[in-house]
A and B are shown apart, each in its own frame.
Chain A
């Protein structure tokens, strides 16, 4: 229990980038694939912001987003051998992350079907903790308030740039359903953001 009671240990961290190590993603990927954890840490530093933003928007929960980020990078580490370099590492990592988040959502849906938690509506909006100025907070909050299906499709399509066909494959719905969810999301957002 000592780890729960002590002050958080945060020694000054020297990042590899400050030591002048390479930051070429393709070389870092090659080194990481050979088991070089330091190279993988550099890849983490280069990509964690985008991965966290995706996890935070899709989950709407900062604590869960941190867990999903960790899971995504661990999964990426385990699957590095299957990365062929046909796309950028960041693109591949993004897809790994999306799969991790969607997998979590599916397992959560199944679990919550068995054990119902009733005070969902009382939970304060934690996405607003993200430090964005002005209108961005309103939009982030509005996105986090979307129904799950609509939020997922909106983020994947309008924020992350996936196409309906890709989304269809990722979340296992028809292309038409993806389009309908996007339409619903945009309509709800326009309504939520209208003066």
Chain B
């Protein structure tokens, strides 16, 4: 009985920790969608980019951490701005399929460039936290998980405050609400688009760094984790920051629980597919998710 409880608790804790990283990545997705109605189908590549650049600055250039991290963040902001300015702005007002395809396009470019520069081998990532597990009651918890949870929580808290109280945050919310009104109030909507891409790439990069240090290595399979963003945002609601946070943790927990219980039945790998099953179920029942805006159009 106790064993079983420990098993469940461990799944829960891992789930919450992984889920908080999903929440971070989804935050980036939701921000972009809220501001500019662009669905980014390359969230995984943004994560990958962050992980590779931080690996390169820390291990390849041997920069100290206090230079390496800001450098990584600046690079990722630059990437976000390039994508917004170069790729998405010319396509404002185009059909959804064009916008979706262009995100696939730049994702492919990012993947290709990373592959050309650093090759496809797995690169060891420095353990930023100690790997010695400590005990929370009877449950062993690894510090990496705890730290990723704490960092994600801090960031999410900061961003929530930023949106609620800062002038820029309010401008972003106004743009999301109604672009024309925002324009007439003197808000630069283009600036907001650029800003949302900048923030999105930054949070994806942070997610990438956390994921890379949890896994202890960087390779291209990190990008697959990025696709977990879709179950999260559908569950939480495509245009809700709150939804991204709650949805991220929920999906993390659900995938770990289903993996823990159903893997013996289906022979492994349930963790990879369970979020997508959940996604389909939610789309059938409640397509706008937990906190999303309900758009009704009946034909």
Partners in one complex: no
